[in-house]
């Protein structure tokens, strides 16, 4: 009899459990972990560490841009010298641009004009040829030379006769001969000068003078008009290139000091650096856990998805603070189910569908820490 009663009692308990499993009210909370953003900070230049200014666990306060807290410093090596070189190059490019923009000095323009005027006058002189007075002078000089030749011939003849009679020395005869030849040469020269004066300037000289005048004219116009726009544009481009190169070096020098991002507050989480260590470029060297924004990552079954609305403010409880409730806002609901097959074939499989949600904490940021366990209350 006792065995029968025990069996009946067991069946009643089993039936009650089955009934409760089928008709129990749906749970209105989902559990998850508190999370925060991890910011991995490094340098774009890399190098050897000169100084480590923070320790693991230090708190970083939010600061505006330009006032970020320095964390690690690297040795500059040759960057300072490269910046000085880039600054000198930029100054030279700016000076060249200024010279081209201003054009030539007034003294240079006046000099070019004077040179042009001088060559123009010379061309006019050559084109006009010798003046009448110059021709008359050439004739007179020829007449003088011919008279001197007649005199030299007479003297030579007398000296020759005396020499034959033995009354003149050989030296006197040689002097007379030399004077005769000099007079003959003078006559030849004067005749050529008179011929040139009568014929006028040669055409080759005139063409040469024209070419020189054209060159001087171009040089004068070049100085008056200044430099071409293409030259000025090229100089501007050179200035911009030099300025860009200097900015790159300045940025690299700024990267020698690894700083906390502006507006970020958090805790130094991962730091294993010592002065003298080498760090590579574009690689994280430390991690800051940003505690300015905390959220609970949880997974909600598909059957309760209707209770979670985007931007809904919900209560959140944290195991570390029993009896306290914090406010949170549902800021993300995954559009796709997780932990379930792609093609659901049965009702049992559909019941396993869950959706990831993110409930961002609106208060309690001063006491709640990442990694704590909490519950998101979908309904009161």
d(C-alpha 261, C-alpha 70), whole Å = 10
Contacts 24+ apart (CB under 8 A), 363-369: 363/326, 363/327, 364/318, 364/321, 364/324, 364/326, 365/291, 365/292, 365/294, 367/321, 368/34, 368/294, 368/318, 368/320, 368/321, 368/326, 369/34, 369/291, 369/320
- 132 and 234 belong to one structural domain: no
- 67 and 118 belong to one structural domain: no
pLDDT of 131? 67
User: Quick one: which H or E segment has residue 375?
Assistant: strand 373-377
- Contact yes or no for 316/365 (Cβ under 8 A): no
pLDDT of 62? 86
List, in sequence order, the alpha helices (H) in 226-306.
229-254
pLDDT of 345? 42
Task: Answer yes or no: is 4 within a domain.
Answer: no
- 91 and 234 belong to one structural domain: yes
pLDDT of 10? 58
- Burial class of 167 by CB neighbour count within 10 A (0 to 12, 13 to 18, 19+): exposed
Give the pTM.
Answer: 0.55
- 175 and 84 belong to one structural domain: no
pLDDT of 89? 96
- Contact yes or no for 293/360 (Cβ under 8 A): yes
Task: Answer yes or no: is 17 within a domain.
Answer: no
- 369 and 267 belong to one structural domain: yes
pLDDT of 275? 92
**Which whole-number Å values give the CA distances from 140 to 180, 190, 191, 243, 282, in the listed order?**
20, 9, 11, 75, 96
Number of domains in the chain: 3
Task: Answer yes or no: is 2 within a domain.
Answer: no
- 329 and 269 belong to one structural domain: yes
Written as six digits, the tokens of 23 are 């008709």
Task: Answer yes or no: is 298 within a domain.
Answer: yes
- Contact yes or no for 48/74 (Cβ under 8 A): yes
d(C-alpha 105, C-alpha 113), whole Å = 13
- 196 and 170 belong to one structural domain: yes
Written as six digits, the tokens of 377 are 């209350």
String of DSSP letters for 164-216: HTT-S-HHHHHHHHHHHHHHHHHHHHHHHHHHHHHH-S-HHHHHHHHHHHHHH
- 46 and 157 belong to one structural domain: no
Within the chain, which residues score under 50 in pLDDT? 17-26, 341-350
- Contact yes or no for 313/362 (Cβ under 8 A): yes
pLDDT of 341? 47
d(C-alpha 235, C-alpha 240), whole Å = 9
Domain that holds residue 241: 79-103+229-254
User: To which residue do tokens 């024209």 refer?
Assistant: 210
């Amino acid at each position: 009899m006792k065995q029968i009663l025990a069996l009946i009692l067991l069946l009643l308990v089993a039936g009650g459990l089955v009934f409760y499993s089928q008709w129990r009210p749906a749970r209105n909370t989902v559990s998850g972990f508190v999370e925060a953003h991890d910011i991995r900070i490094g340098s774009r230049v890399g190098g050897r560490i000169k100084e480590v200014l923070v320790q693991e666990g230090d708190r970083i306060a939010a600061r505006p841009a330009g006032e970020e807290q320095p964390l690690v410093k690297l040795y500059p090596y040759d960057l300072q010298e490269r910046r000085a070189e880039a600054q000198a190059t930029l100054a030279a490019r700016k000076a060249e641009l200024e010279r081209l923009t201003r054009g030539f000095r007034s003294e240079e323009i006046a000099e070019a004009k004077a040179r042009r005027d001088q060559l123009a006058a010379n061309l006019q002189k050559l084109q006009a040829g010798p003046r009448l007075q110059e021709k008359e002078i050439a004739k007179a000089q020829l007449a003088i030379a011919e008279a001197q030749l007649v005199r030299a011939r007479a003297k030579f003849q007398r000296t020759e006769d005396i020499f034959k009679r033995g009354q003149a020395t050989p030296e006197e005869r040689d002097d007379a001969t030399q004077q005769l030849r000099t007079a003959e040469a003078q006559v030849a020269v004067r005749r050529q000068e008179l011929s040139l004066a009568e014929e006028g300037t040669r055409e080759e000289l005139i063409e040469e003078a024209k070419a020189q005048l054209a060159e001087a004219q171009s040089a004068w116009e070049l100085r008056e008009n200044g430099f071409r726009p293409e030259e000025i544009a090229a100089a501007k481009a050179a200035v911009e290139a030099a300025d860009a190169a200097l900015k790159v070096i300045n940025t690299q020098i700024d990267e020698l000091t690894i700083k906390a991002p502006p507006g970020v507050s958090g805790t130094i989480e991962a730091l294993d650096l010592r002065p003298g260590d080498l760090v590579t470029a574009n690689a994280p060297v430390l991690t800051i856990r940003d505690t300015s924004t905390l959220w609970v990552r949880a997974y909600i079954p598909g059957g309760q998805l209707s209770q979670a609305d985007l931007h809904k403010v919900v209560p959140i409880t944290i195991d570390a603070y029993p009896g306290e409730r914090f406010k949170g806002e549902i800021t993300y609901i995954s559009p796709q189910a997780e932990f379930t097959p792609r093609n659901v074939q049965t009702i049992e499989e559909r019941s396993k569908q869950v959706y990831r949600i993110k409930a961002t904490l609106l208060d309690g940021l001063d006491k709640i820490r990442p990694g704590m366990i909490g519950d998101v209350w979908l309904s009161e």
